[in-house]
Amino acid sequence: MADISQTFRTSIALPGLAATGALGAGVAAGLRVGDCVALWGDLGAGKTTLARAILQALGVREDVPSPTFTLVQSYETPHLAVSHYDLYRLKSAREMRELGFDDALLDGAVLVEWPERAPEALPPDALHVRLALQDGVRTARLTGPARWESLLHV
Ligand SMILES: Nc1ncnc2c1ncn2[C@@H]1O[C@H](COP(=O)(O)OP(=O)(O)OP(=O)(O)O)[C@@H](O)[C@H]1O
Ligand SMILES: [Mg+2]
């Protein structure tokens, strides 16, 4: 059965950091409390770079480091609270509770690198961004709820 919460689909070329910045601004413009942005992609695909672009578009002025070791880094932005997760080093799906994932979704939005480490934690209406670097060409494939359609034709 088709998943009605995943009706938006597009593919975007990311030839440089400016293109990632524009995509990040589009995501930031639509981000609401309860949203999850799942950032898929191999090592070095550009997940942290896009998370940083989203946070900077939301007005974060401080550094946005990769939360590789802390697993989560939280930000208060003028618009909403955002928690940036990197689940690469997650030991078990149970750890998601200790990391406050459900509360972070109740209180704000979440950005998740390596979502494949805890796929069952992702809400069904997540925006999925699949980043790829192939033969020197970077692309983002997006799927998610229809409301993203008007925001993400960047
Ligand atoms: N659109 C882009 N154009 C050019 N370079 C980019 C682009 N996006 C990311 N990069 C570069 O690719 C490198 C890896 O990016 P990044 O750290 O965001 O990847 P990642 O997917 O988070 O990696 P990891 O799996 O280690 O978390 C960085 O040097 C970054 O500047
Ligand atoms: Mg990263």
Q: 86: CA distance to ligand 2 center in Å?
A: 7
CB 111 within 8 A of CB 39: yes
For residue 151, give both structure tokens: 């925001």
Give me 33's structure tokens. 């409390």
**Ligand 1, residues at Cβ distance < 6 Å:** 14, 16-17, 19-20, 41, 43-49, 66, 113, 138
pLDDT along the chain (154 residues), means of 10: 73 97 96 98 97 98 95 96 98 93 98 97 97 96 93 72
Which of 17, 23, 49 gets mutated to test ligand 1 (max ligand atoms within 8 A of its CB)?
49
User: d(Cα 12, Cα 18) in Å, to the nearest integer?
Assistant: 13
Tell me, what's the pLDDT at 90? 96
Distance CA 13, CA 118 (A): 27
pLDDT, position 52: 98
Report which DSSP code applies to 87.
-
Q: Which ligand 1 atom sits nearest the alpha carbon of residue 43?
A: 25
pLDDT in the model for residue 150:
83
Q: Pick the atom of ligand 1 nearest to 50's CA.
A: 18
Structure tokens at 17: 């950091």
* List of domains in the chain: 33-123 (3.40.50.300)
